[in-house]
Amino acid sequence: MTSASDDPVLAQWIAWAAEHPGRLPPGVEPVQTRLIRAVGRGVLASGRPAFVKVMGFPRPRDRLRYWLRPLPAPHEAAMLAAARAAGIPCPEVLAVVQRRDRFGAPCASMLVTAGLDVLPDVVPRLYGCSALAARLADAGIAHPDLHAANFVQLRDGGCAVLDLQSARRRARPLRRAARLRMAARLLASDWPEPELPGDTVIAGLIRAEDLPRALHRAAAMRARALRGRVLRCLRESTEFTVLRRPWGVLIQRRNLAPGGVWRAGGRELIRVWIGARFCEVADGQRSPLGALFRKSWWFPGRSSVYIAGANGVAWFEERRARWLDAYGRFMKMSGGGRRGSTLPSEAPLPWSGLREV
């Protein structure tokens, strides 16, 4: 591991992380940003490219999650070291920063890794990723979220694994069930080109008789992932923020466009809101709905939805039926209100504790 004294830029990044948890250092170009995590690309004083992954803990549940468990940076550093020791291509760890307060609550987590010699804009094929996943499994490294974006194509013709934050190491090679889970997650990924599912068998990740089960699990994973992305419109997330008050709950996009209008309504607005989000996620249709206010049942007045654009009300009326139909599609995908469904059609809304009005 490169020490801070070997590179002044690395030393600056380490000092920055201690004082500005969850934020990328100056001069580091963002590559991926989420509510609790950001990844950026920078260049060390030596000219060597490096990637910086920082994690903040803005929500109580994030702080509670890591109160008694290793912080993401040291854990992933350990997983990368184990993978490299097994001869698996992955980034070299350059620095780890972790900080807790005097009560043990997490405050800062930063991981710096060296850049790899990759082919830009080239996504590895399923066979190569499955072969690398098989090597991880043989090394006892279980990764429950090993999707296509976790891999990069190297210039030497091989591929490398990048993100091992969710990985766990076991004392012996993974058993059949764990390998099946890894294969299903790979098969559930969005690959830019058609892939042969049997490549997971040829690459040695799973047995031939396990392929039908892996495909079945992959389909279920895709449905859950889609459902999860849709339901982000009801909770604090990268794209949405939630403000709860005794008189109601306001959910709005973080990039709320000004100059829109509010349209009042009743019990159908939650269905319209979710339906519009489903069209946005599943069909790629941009939603003009920027916020939803759900009033408490005991509070006078009506609920309302915010629509961006000067002609927002006309746009709303034109698309309302389409969004309600999309809500029906979403409910059908989610189980149609059967036991185990998060959003039964006529049940109290779990995200707010408010009943329909």
CA 146 – CA 156 distance, rounded (Å): 22
pTM, two decimal places: 0.81
Spatial separation of the C-alpha atoms in residues 309 and 11, rounded to whole Å: 47
Question: Could you report the per-residue pLDDT of 125-174, keeping only the tens digit for each?
Answer: 999 999 999 999 999 999 988 999 999 999 988 899 999 999 999 999 99
Q: What is the pLDDT of residue 5?
A: 55
The predicted structure's pLDDT at residue 355:
32
- Between 62 and 80, name the one with better pLDDT: 80
| pLDDT (0 to 100) of residue 346 | 33
Contact 293, 301 (CB under 8 A): no
Residue 350 above 60 pLDDT? no
Q: What is the pLDDT of residues 216-256, one digit of tens each?
A: 999 999 999 999 999 999 998 889 999 999 889 999 999 88
| Average pLDDT, integer, range 258-265 | 88
CA angle, 12 as apex, 11 and 18 as ends, to 5°? 95
Domains of the chain: residue spans and CATH: 4-114 (3.30.200.20), 126-225 (no CATH), 239-334 (no CATH)
Q: How far apart are the first and last CA of the chain?
A: 59
Higher pLDDT among residues 273 and 1, named by residue: 273
Please classify residue 298 by burial: count the beta carbons closer than 10 Å to its beta carbon, then call 0-12 exposed, 13-18 middle and 19+ buried. Answer: exposed
Strand 141-142 relative to strand 29-33: parallel, antiparallel, unpaired?
A: unpaired
Q: Strand, helix or coil at 7?
A: coil
What pLDDT digit, counting tens, does each position of 268-316 carry?
899 999 999 999 999 888 888 999 999 888 888 889 999 987 677 788 8
Backbone phi, psi, residue 61, to 5° = -65, -30
Q: What are the tens digits of pLDDT across the range 64-113?
A: 889 888 999 999 999 999 999 999 999 999 999 999 988 888 988 999 99
Does 277 or 352 have the greater pLDDT score?
277
Distance between CA atoms of 320 and 326, rounded to whole angstroms?
10
CA 168 to chain centre: 18
Report the percentage of the chain scoring pLDDT > 70: 92
44 versus 336: the higher-pLDDT residue is: 44
Given this model, what pLDDT does residue 310 score? 66
For the chain, what is the mean pLDDT? 88
In the prediction, which pLDDT does 92 show? 96
